[in-house]
Structure 1
Amino acid sequence: MESYFECLKKIAPEIVEIIEKRYEILKNISYYQPIGRRILAEKLNLTERIVRNEIDILRNLGLINVTESGTILTNEGEDILEKLSNIVYDIKGLEDVKARVKEILKAKDVYVVPGDADLNPYVLKEIGILASKVILTLIEDVKIIAVTGGQTVKEVVDSFPTCSFKDILVVPARGGIGQEVEKQANTLAANLAKKINGSYKLLHLPDTMDEEVYNLLIKKEEVQEVLNDINNADMLVFGIGNAIEMAKRRKLSQDMIEKLKKVGAIGEIFGYYFDKAGRIVYSTTTIGIKLEKIKNIKYMIGVAGGSHKAEAILSLGEIKNNTVFVIDEGIAKRIISLEK
């Protein structure tokens, strides 16, 4: 039997289009408020005339207010937006999309949020909110959580509610990478520990180093202690990177980047670079979690946003089978299209 929304699409497709458009408008206002009409039009890739008309309608419905600083949601608007999220999920048929992606990846589980982070950055926030809820359903029997760095994992930590799990230790899965301290694994580990009222340990080391330095540091007692905790984690929350993007972030040489392209590197996690067939084609000398240890981790939570990450996820080989993925609609639909 066809769903209510499938019937609605056939008999009144314009209604579905209006619902989806107004959902996007309310979502963008929620994320960027207060926001001016011109900037809102740019975010939505709509003309100012269309946005002006929609703002007038939403204001008359009592869902938004237009202030001197810009447009904001009313309390009723926030309430409607929350309810609308479930409706849009059903309209887009994301339950079927989720099931298909889980089948393709042979993943432990898959969760999908509407939208594409490549087009709308607020979608990363939605991934963070959903991932934090997923983690909360699994956290009861967890003793050690390891987290990687990156914007998407940061959204997970930022979205985490204040709660009390005093017996949980949070550790960074790896050393630091790049200049943005707020996105580094150490920072995110400490912030998550504070959110859950747990404890944390830090790894005050760079993500990548030469082998001689690595061999010296790995012998230090304080480093070994943290590494032992990392490799005994019950849960790992990690982002998934595009191989070439991550190589540039790690400031690999141009020659090495060209080599990665030549060997077909597509995806990256924990300093390991994978090709289309799921083979490791390169790995950096890093201090942190090792690939051979992750098979013992009970809960692997992989988070990613933006359709350009689809190939990277597909490249992860058998790691996919033990992972719970929280991704966006853009990634999910591209994974399906790539498998056709």
Structure 2
Amino acid sequence: MAVGVGQVTALESGEAPFDAALAARICWYYFKEGQTQDAIAQRLGLTRKRVNRMLSDARDTGLVQITIAGPVAPCVALECRLVERFGLREAVVVPSPAEGTDVRSVVGAAAGWWISERLPPSGSLGINWGGTIHAAAQNLARRVGQGNTVVLLCGGLAESTAINPYDNAASFARALDATCYYVTAPMYTETQALRDALVESDPVRRVLAMVETLDLALMSAIDLTARSKALEYGVISRDLWRSLREAGAVGEICGHYLDPAGRPVDHPIADRTIRPHLDALRRVPQRVLAAGGRHKAPVIRAAIAAGLVHVLITDEAAAQNLLR
């Protein structure tokens, strides 16, 4: 099915673990005809809870994809100013979400749409970790048999959460029908000696070396403010968070903690982090940073200064803060 502005396109999805025909009918009534979930439930003899769940599953599985057409003038103006100020190839600015909505979901959605349009057939994509990357994966246009490759650019976490690198890489690979390569080692090791041994092992070394073959890298930024998700999820301890801030770090990109000028900070965690070399990341032909929220402006600015950003995908609040 296809409609115009606010386009909703229903696609076949062999992966959908539910009644795809029923889900498509629900999506048509909801998105195309504008019926309420209560009305749809009554019409089809379902509970409202089931209608709500099937709408959610339809988005998650790619059965329904939503494209919002039409420029948003203030965002376009900010995009132009960001490109001019920072020498970017491109900027994508989305409206900041309403209070109570996670900015990562809207910025991640924009990143997913951008990747869907720009990643070429047979292209290789590198990703790191975080909630924005998770949201991007949920908003990819589904592909079948295009020969894409997904490469994880960091080590993993033991716990399965929305920010887990392994889960995010797997979600990208499923959506793109891609071959996925994981760094089969933790993000942080207990000692430098252990980090060195793992990095020199063949499985880890081969995947980290694949950064040199990437067509595109999609990276998110981890801030070190009091709102840091790395702190909230226990990826880093409060003591480590405090010491990184004392060392001058404003955030992390692909395992590299940067100061406001985009320089790696001198901190012991650097010797225990499994990550690609900074220079290797700088050689990726198309480098995309997706990060939003006013609090992310310092680490976004640092990433740009470090030479890690060709394309910035962000929200109005972060863009306005960057341009001050």
TM-score, length of structure 1 as denominator length: 0.68
- 1:1-340 mapped onto 2 (5 Å cutoff): 65=36, 67=38, 86=70, 89-90=72-73, 93-116=74-97, 119-121=99-101, 123-140=103-120, 143-177=123-157, 179-209=159-189, 210-244=191-225, 245=228, 248=231, 249-252=234-237, 254=239, 256-281=240-265, 282=267, 284=270, 285-320=272-307, 322-336=309-323, 339=324
Q: Note if contact 1:153-1:239 (Cα within 8 Å) is conserved in structure 2.
A: yes
- Report the Cα offset of residue 128 of structure 1: 2.5
Deviations 1:127-171 (A, max 9, x none): 233222222332116632111111100111111011135322112
Distance in 1 separating the partners of 2:92 and 2:304: 19
Q: Distance in 2 between matches of 1:240 and 1:142?
A: 27
Letter in 1 for 2:316: E
Aligned AA (1:94): C
Answer yes or no: is the 8 Å Cα contact 2:255–2:274 preserved in 1. Answer: no
Report if aligned partners of 2:222, 2:230 keep a CA contact under 8 Å in 1. no
> Cα distance, 1:266 vs. partner?
1.2
SS of match in other structure, 1:280: coil
* Distance across 1 between alignment mates of 2:287 and 2:102: 24
CA distance in 1, matches of 2:128, 2:281: 13
Counterpart amino acid of residue 252 in structure 2: E
Percent identity over the alignment is: 20
- Are the equivalent residues in 1 in contact too, given 2:281–2:308 (CA < 8 A)? no
- SS across alignment from 1:218: helix
Structure with more helix by fraction: 1
CA contact (8 A) 1:231 1:289 kept: no
Q: Which amino acid aligns with 1:224?
A: R
What whole-Å deviation, never above 9, does each CA across 1:23-74 have from its counterpart, x for those lacking one? xxxxxxxxxxxxxxxxxxxxxxxxxxxxxxxxxxxxxxx967484969x8xx
- 2:5 aligned residue: none
Q: Give, in whole Å, the separation in 1 of the partners of 2:113 and 2:206.
A: 30
RMSD across aligned positions (CA): 3.1
For structure 2, the residue ranges without an aligned partner over 5 or more in a row are: 1-32, 39-46, 56-65
**What's the offset of the Cα at 1:192?**
1.2
Structure 1 pair 263/213, CA: closer, same or farther in 2 (3 Å)?
closer
SS at match of 1:121: coil
Tell me the secondary structure at the aligned position of residue 312 of structure 1.
helix
Residue deviations 1:204-263 (CA, integer Å, cap 9, x gap): 211011211112212222222222223432211111111353663432461x43332223
Judging changes above 3 Å, is the alpha-carbon distance between structure 1 residues 141 and 334 closer, same or farther for their aligned structure 2 residues? same
Please give the secondary structure, in 1, of the residue aligned with 2:151. Answer: strand
Contact persistence 1:166–1:199 (CA under 8 A): no
* C-alpha contact 1:230 1:288 (8 A) present in aligned 2: no
The CA distance in 2 between the partners of 1:134 and 1:166, in whole Å, is: 17
Distance 2:67 2:153 in 1: 34
**Residues 255 and 275 in structure 2, CA contact (< 8 A), matched pair in contact too:** no
Number of positions where the alignment pairs a residue of Structure 1 with one of Structure 2: 264
Deviation of residue 178 (structure 1)? 6.4
**Aligned with 1:102: secondary structure?**
helix
Q: Which runs of 5+ in 1 are unaligned?
A: 1-61, 76-80
1:157 alignment partner AA: A
